[in-house]
Structure formats: structure tokens, C-alpha cells
A and B are shown apart, each in its own frame.
Chain A
Amino acid sequence: MKTLHLSIIAGLCISIALSLFLVVIETTRPSNVFHSSPAGQTTAYPSNLTEQLTKACTAGPGMSCDNQPVTMSQNNETNTLTEYRCGQFFTVPQDNHIFGSETYPVLILKENSVDVPRSLIQ
């Protein structure tokens, strides 16, 4: 019985120590590191937009940004573009009318939205 009690106490100590270690790591992480956030949640980032956008959006499929939308805050005072929503990307159909199709893809933006197109160029 004594051994069992010692094992439980040792397990609890290890769990507490591990939790404290993770809390310290999380709170000391640099603020400009890319964070993903749940859809619709706004997170302000102090670092520059280019760095964040490059990290979040220029990578290929499978990156966290493709799977989890990210929203950045807008600076209304300086009227600068510091907001974007890099959610899930989808491929726009190409214009196939030269192959006989009579339809054209038309892009549709919402008012006050921030949209992110990306092109693969070769």
C-alpha cells in the first residue's frame, strides 16, 4: 500500500512539474511567432505584416494556415492594411472558353473583407 501511495505522489509531482514547464515555455515564446487561432477569433500581432503573411500563406497545402483560419487586426488610426484572413485556400478554375466552354469564372469579394489570392508561377 505504501508503495502505491508513493507511486501516486511521484506521478502527481511529475505531472505538476511538466505543466509548469509547458506554461513557462508558452509565456516566454516571442510574440511575433506565427499563431493559429480558431475561426472568427481576432488576434493582434505586433510584428510586420509581410513576415506574418509569408509564414502563414506562402507555404503549400498542409500548412496550418490551410487548415485553420487566421485573422489579424486592422490599424484604423494609420489606415494601413494590417489585417488579413488566410483561411482555407481553394483553386479557382481556369478560363476554359478557348476549349469550347462558354463560362468564365468570376471572383466575388464581400464588402470590408480582406482576401488572399496566391498564384503559382513557373
Chain B
Amino acid sequence: MYNDNRSGSAWPQMLNLTEMFHVGKYLYTSNGNSFGMSSIDTMQMFKTKSIPEVVDLAKYPIGSQFTVTSIIKPLPNATGFYDYSIPEIPCGSYPLAVGYGINQVNSDNFSKGMIVMHNHSCANLPYEISSVQVSGMDFKQIKFS
């Protein structure tokens, strides 16, 4: 069953899946060997909905699974590139391109902060994503240096 103290820090029993879903960009700055990062939330450029919106983790024994289905609709001004969007495996989020063809998307379109965040270790959460499926969108494997 749900253990809110599994990793030494308390996690909320009610998992708000709407809050898990964020789309945005990273601002990455560097100065010599140091760097700084901040994020810009761009959720106002999308309409989203998650079903269910909230899950009571106590209802799911360890080892059991549940499915979260979301809808994402980019608004007309959403064309662009985003460093994070839908949560991915094992943690973090998939980069996202809106309004561009597969051949127009390359590594230069994304912030270096995206690489930094993907190299970051994962937090020990009381749940993990085991599979992500999509309908209606494409994906492309991009090499980042």
C-alpha cells in the first residue's frame, strides 16, 4: 500500500495529475564553469485535461497500475519549441515541438537546460511511469551533443 514516507520525505497521498502536466521552456545561462537555470511556464498556450484529475495512491497497492489519459490542444499562438511537456520514463518530460514538420525539428531548437534536466537524477517518488503512449502526434529521435 501507499507509504508516504518511503524515501524519508512525505509525499501527498492524493496525486494531482493535472499539476504533473506542465509545458514550458528553460532559460539557461552560463558564466565560466557555472550556469544558471530558470523555467518559463507556457501552459496558457495549451488547453489540457487529465482523466482522472486526482488519484488516491492509497487505493493502489504496490505493484498495481493505473492509466492516466490526457488531452492536449495547442492554441493558435503555441507554435514553437518547448523543453518539457508530457512526463516521460523514467522521469522528466519529453521536449515538444508544435507546428513544425519532422524535418524542421533539431537539437538547436531546444535549450541546453533540457539536457541538464535530463541528466539530473530522478527523485524517489511513490509511483513511477512505466509506459507512455500517444495518439495524434508524431515523435522524432534527436541527437543532442
A binding-site residues for B, Cβ under 8 Å: 49-50, 53-54, 57-58, 60, 81, 83-95, 97-98, 102-122
Contact = CB atoms under 8 A, between A and B. Distances in A.
Given A117-B86, A118-B70, A120-B129, A107 B134 contact: yes
Q: Interface residue tally of chain B, by bracket?
A: 35 or more
B12 interface: no
A107 B98 CA distance: 9
Given A106-B140, A107-B137, A122-B65, A83 B132 contact: no
B18 to A, nearest CB: 13
A95 B120 CA distance: 12
Interface in B80-132: 85-90, 92, 94-102, 105, 110, 114, 118-119, 127-132
Given A105-B94, A121-B65, A121-B128, A113 B136 contact: yes
Contacts, number: 198
Contact of A122 (B86, B102, B130, B142): B130
Given A95-B118, A111-B76, 17 more contacts: A60-B67, A92-B132, A95-B89, A103-B143, A104-B114, A106-B142, A107-B97, A108-B97, A108-B105, A108-B139, A110-B98, A114-B73, A115-B73, A117-B132, A117-B137, A119-B131, A121-B67
Contacts of B78: 111
A122 B127 contact: yes
A92 B87 CA distance: 11
